[in-house]
Amino acid sequence: MKSSPWWKEATIYQIYPRSFFDSNGDGEGDLPGITSKLEYVKALGVDAIWLSPFYTSPNKDGGYDVADPRDVDPRFGNLADAKKMIDVAHSLGLRVLVDVVPNHFSDQHVWFQAALKAGRGSPERSRFHFYDAKPDGTPPNNWISLFGGPSWTQVEDGQFYLHLFDSSQPDLNWENPEIFIDYEKTLRFWLDFGVDGFRIDVAHGLVKEDIFKNHPDPQGLSDALRLDVIMDVEKRFALLETVPFFDRQGVHEIYRKWRKLFDSYGDREVMAVAEAWVHPPVNATRYVRPDELHQVFNFDLLDAPFDAAHLHDVISRTIELLANVDALPTWALSNHDSPRVASRLGELQSRALTIFVFGLPGSCYVYAGQELGLPDGVMPDGARQDPIYFRTKGSQKGRDGARVPLPWSDESAPFGFTSGTPWLPMQDSWKDLTVEKQNVDPKSSLNVYRNALELRAEHLVTTGEMTWLESPTHGSKNPLLLAYRRGNVSVYMNLGESLVEVEITGKVLIASAGVPDGRDGKITIPPVSTLWVHH
Ligand code: NOJ
């Protein structure tokens, strides 16, 4: 069944355009490439696609450095290609979400170039965070960029500008009303162009406070904000309470106004999802109050261990917190910024967890390639492109592993992705993971995803709340078993390496792996697998 509005319990497929499919042999994916594969996407059973940025960009940060938010970068095609992609998606019944990046522009945006020329104190500089150096010549504060290194870069006349990310991504000053007006133009441009909504990059970052104050532990704060830095949980949480540039109350004023704009499109059912890594988790619910955005990403599963008690805790807490604002959760196991779930947890584990999560209330995000069980790509340092790798002088490898192009066909790299040389190296060891191979194997990861999404739409979407049946914190004797019931379906996940027998009657709808065995009111669940049982 379809949920209403469409996004309430949607499955949304994230496409990283540069890595999806290359139509012109230049080694990079593009919009016509995406269009040519939309039938594949539709056949997965998803409701919508979300595209990472394809706008004019020098591509210092994979297109999240936008030089013109209302045009297409030639590496991806042109506006006519974007129109065609949207039209074909719509004709297949797929909605289209695009990324917007309101926290910063590229340093190649005309506004930033004008700001450089116009000099200190000018209206052009007031669109960004330009300030004089401190009397000792150092930057206005000691903040560290999320990509490593200082958050400030000095320009010729001695002023510094703020960039929470790469130096090529100057932060916009949202206190200047011109920024709101320009962004409204961008939102309207894409809505009038035909898109169905937006993923809002760094949605929690637009408003800054205490710009002239040093942070007592800038390196600690920067580490606390990075999931790949191991840190004591208490310490991390304490530091996260002190971020002066994220999750300030002022951001909500902006989203209240955006919501009015979205609602003015009436029955188009425009939606927006916030990328807001905030702490404590309850703060995330503010972004989805009834007069703000429609969804907020829940990132807790991106680094969750394959551990029943932990997963139970994250899932319960997420559902409860969002219920307080009458919103449903979002579930994501992978994206272009984090290690692929198959690498992080193992292929079987990741498949079991995905099928477990597909049954839950809310929307599910699937990162292209996740359906193939694709692991992270492995590459020599010389091939890396992520600014994190360069800004940390190689001490952090960055996110390229999760961005390697998809394997479509053939027995060796580039697996039909391109007729040229792929922009990141592809692994020959992926030969059994191609779409072509998995298409014909009924037990492949791809086919399990397809079946699960079809069954999700048929039996689970719109069936309301879930109740736990088994969890270590709910008195279950098996610490390796999690189960819940929703509607007429019970979902069991066996996290252990041995068979588990449960007393239950019903028809097995799907098993993420192995062959479950059912008789005499009992079903055995294969190791590391999830089962859906219909009553
Ligand atoms: C979050 C995006 O997902 C990431 O890829 C990007 O580097 C930063 N925001 C900065 O825009």
Tokens of 431: 């030969």
Give the torsion sign (CA, 232, 233, 237, 238): negative
Give residue 36's pLDDT band: very low, low, confident or very high (50, 70, 90): very high
Of 201, 277, 367, 388, the one to substitute when testing ligand 1's pocket (max ligand atoms within 8 A of C-beta) is 201
**170 Cα: distance to centroid of ligand 1 (angstroms):** 13
pLDDT digits (tens, 9 = 90+) for 19-29: 999 999 999 99
Section 387-415 average pLDDT: 95
Q: How many CB atoms lie within 10 A of CB 81?
A: 19
pLDDT digits (tens, 9 = 90+) for 169-213: 999 999 999 999 999 999 999 999 999 999 999 999 999 999 999
pTM reported for the whole predicted model: 0.97
Give residue 475's pLDDT band: very low, low, confident or very high (50, 70, 90): confident
**64 Cα: distance to centroid of ligand 1 (angstroms):** 6
Which secondary structure element, helix H or strand E, spans residue 14, and what is its range? strand 11-15
More confidently predicted of 226 and 142: 142
pLDDT at 68 over 90: yes
Give the torsion sign (CA, 68, 74, 80, 86): negative
pLDDT at 514 over 80: yes
Average pLDDT, the chain: 96
Give residue 231's pLDDT band: very low, low, confident or very high (50, 70, 90): confident
pLDDT at 386 over 80: yes
pLDDT reported for residue 150:
95
pLDDT digits (tens, 9 = 90+) for 49-64: 999 999 999 999 999 9
- Contact (Cβ atoms closer than 8 angstroms) between residue 191 and residue 270: yes
pLDDT reported for residue 1:
75
Please state the φ and ψ torsions of residue 128, each to the nearest 5 degrees.
-125, -175
Of 19, 64, 99, 390, the one to substitute when testing ligand 1's pocket (max ligand atoms within 8 A of C-beta) is 64
pLDDT at 4 over 90: no
pLDDT reported for residue 519:
82
**391 Cα: distance to centroid of ligand 1 (angstroms):** 15
pLDDT reported for residue 77:
98
Annotated active-site residue 61? The verdict is no
pLDDT reported for residue 476:
76
The atom of ligand 1 lying closest to the CA of 202 is 9
pLDDT digits (tens, 9 = 90+) for 117-175: 999 999 999 999 999 999 999 999 999 999 989 999 999 999 999 999 999 999 999 99
Tokens of 403: 């961005």
pLDDT digits (tens, 9 = 90+) for 355-369: 999 999 999 999 999
Give the residue from 370, 376, 378, 369 showing the smallest Cα distance to 353: 370
Section 460-487 average pLDDT: 92
Annotated active-site residue 503? The verdict is no
Tokens of 399: 């996110």
Give the integer Cα–Cα distance in Å for 183 and 169: 16
